[in-house]
Structure 1
């Protein structure tokens, strides 16, 4: 009997993040379709979750950007395509995409790329390096914002498949109050104090500093920066120094990676997206909306497509701490009924994981045909 089609996704590593979570969600859909889901990466904390879905993980040093490493990874992927009879390669990041492109050409299999970001072009050769994400037989853009970027930068048309939220996990009724209370206790939140949550990895462009500056105008409010610093200890120290200078160090919490994000979102009175550069999509925004939380997002990039100002959340000028503080005050002042109505509207309009999975499988079926 012939083997079912095998789809091999490649990415640098399987730690926390939107790219990684999307990889697992598509692997789940591949398995549910009766196909074989393979993922190659350098490994990480999400490997057990991937394998629990029935998918197979292959450890390769795909995080390397060194030319020799990319060539070696291309050879390893080509061998894997042959041995596992892989039908489609799907690349989600630039360095692994170069290896996957070379392997796909060597073995004569189609390549899908998902364009996850507005990659910078700050030094010579960077546009060429980035262009690999537009060289797939099918190119998936994760938002209209990214599709426009691909068209303008590479002259390539793409398929827009927005990221989606898993409503089986991000469902308010499924989170017991004890999980929420445990997180607020771990964050040392005083009784009755409002919590402003910024869920994002700790990196400068995510705008944590903007929220810290806004916190100075929000007395009695606790700000939680929930995200993996990914080794950026100097940046964390810089944020703490800024909080000291703003006089809000006692109201700032930096817990690092938070595994229970549904409970973390329910523990927050307001969820903030404060990026100062365009977000490709903004998964944390739709996860907060799915949990019916009031969301304030910077008005640039992907969140403009998922947040309707005053209906499913609010938009504020990027990098404007005063405007952010004013919008947080307005959100906290909303009557309970108005906050519930906004949360219900947000949850009703949120893009779903199921829609993303179905559209991606549709791309695979086109290539398999």
Structure 2
């Protein structure tokens, strides 16, 4: 096998399970495959254990289990592939925890950090994270906000940590301006407290109180669903309807994007900044679809959107600011369309999975060739 043309992707999660990291794993693997590399993904999901091969990507899914068992299964699956001669040019771990079994193998190791998983660990978990990341070749932060969060805690990692924005899957056709009886506002996210969906519900209700007619859909599911439903009751009524759709498939999500006028995502950081939105793939998707976005200033989304140019950035803890931004876009369709078009153009120029993977591997192949040229093919069996 041509090692320079092969790469391992390692993750603790995978589709059909939902989440931002699952999306990241899938899109990174596809981007590497599009570049002509042979890709093997080692992961776990609720659908495993299984082995699938499609479009230049082999998925080795070790199946659900306790964390330590998953690590052991991933290490054994990788070891079997290694001993069978399938030795990659580099290994890309999609989180720092997924990098633990990858440390056994003498290859350039890339690790992606997304946000909260580097902000929350403390004590022993923090020491383990620092030890793992200190042994990587390159750390890929998905936003400057994520990079700052990591380096505030582990400044010695600055020399190996770079910011590389995530990509988006571009819609297949140009979007036409929707013609709706009422303005349609959507939020697409996993329902967790940092998404601040109750504040979005209150902002929609306040706008209706000012005689602004809005239909609002909250799309997604998650552990905060009960709290959001409780917040929904006092905000019901007025001009327009509010629905919680739960999970929707790709076709319905595409239709929601096609017909939406405003994307509302007033996220906040919690736990003194440790619990934050690292990038905001749903925000980037909405921008790419040409939807005017309102986002919170905390974390990655406040970095992706330039206030007043490609969308609006608000203090997610300020209900009046969220309401005012929503009312402004509702009452000024020309301004809304201008922000939407600027955001669409920015997303298409800057959010690219192929670019993400190209920058991730930049300069690494020569390093591997140097190691191989000196015959260093023995398997490392120690983390020290």
Question: CA distance change for structure 1 residues 272 and 56 in 2, over 3 Å: closer, same or farther?
Answer: same
Please name the residue that 2:323 is paired with: 325
Residue of structure 1 equivalent to 2:261: 269
Residue 222 in structure 1 maps to residue 212 in structure 2: no
Mapped to 1, the partners of 2:14 and 2:73 lie a distance apart of 20
1:161-202 C-alpha deviation (Å, 9 max, x unpaired): 1112233x36534x8x9xx89xxxxxxxxx722221111111
| Residues paired across the two proteins, number | 344
Q: Which residue does the alignment assign to 2:273? A: none
Q: Provide the C-alpha distance between the structure 2 equivalents of 1:134 and 1:32, rounded to a whole number of angstroms.
A: 30
What are the equivalent positions in structure 2 for 1:51-62 lying under 5 Å apart? Answer: 52-61=54-63
Match of 2:144 in 1: 144
Distance 1:19 1:366 in 2: 29
- Unmatched 5+ stretches in structure 2: 270-275, 370-384
Map of 2:9 onto structure 1:
9
Secondary structure in 2 aligned to 1:12? coil
Corresponding residue number in structure 2 for 1:31: 33
Match of 1:20 among 22, 27, 47: 22
Structure 2 residue aligned with 1:188: none
1:225-240 maps to which residues of 2 (within 5 A)? 225-229=218-222, 232=223, 235-240=224-229
The one of 225, 232, 235 equivalent to 1:243 is 232
Partner of 2:381: none
**In structure 2, how many angstroms separate the alpha carbons of the residues matched to 1:321 and 1:363?**
47
How far apart, in 1, do the equivalents of 2:233 and 2:301 lie? 31
Is 2:301 the counterpart of 1:315?
Answer: no
Which blocks of at least 5 consecutive residues in structure 1 are unaligned? 182-190
Residues 292 and 305 (structure 1), Cα distance of their counterparts in 2 relative to 1, 3 Å cut: same
8 Å CA contact 2:236, 2:242 repeated in 1: no
CA deviation after TM superposition for structure 1 residue 75, in Å = 3.2
Looking at structure 2, the residues matched to 280 and 290 of structure 1 have their Cα atoms a distance apart, in angstroms, of: 18
2:87 alignment partner in structure 1: 85
Structure with higher RCO (Cα < 8 A, 6+ apart): 2
Q: How large is the RMSD of aligned CA atoms in angstroms?
A: 3.0
Closer/same/farther in 2, CA of residues 2 and 86 from structure 1, 3 Å limit: closer
CA distance in 2, matches of 1:204, 1:146: 18
Matches of 1:339 and 1:122 in 2, distance apart?
A: 40
The residue correspondences of 1:168-187 to structure 2 (distance < 5 A) are 169=171, 171-173=173-175
Deviation of residue 225 (structure 1)? 1.4
Q: Deviations over 1:188-228 (max 9, x none)?
A: xxx72222111111112211111122222122422211123
- Helix, strand or coil for the counterpart of 1:172? coil
Q: Report the CA distance between 1:319 and its aligned residue.
A: 2.6
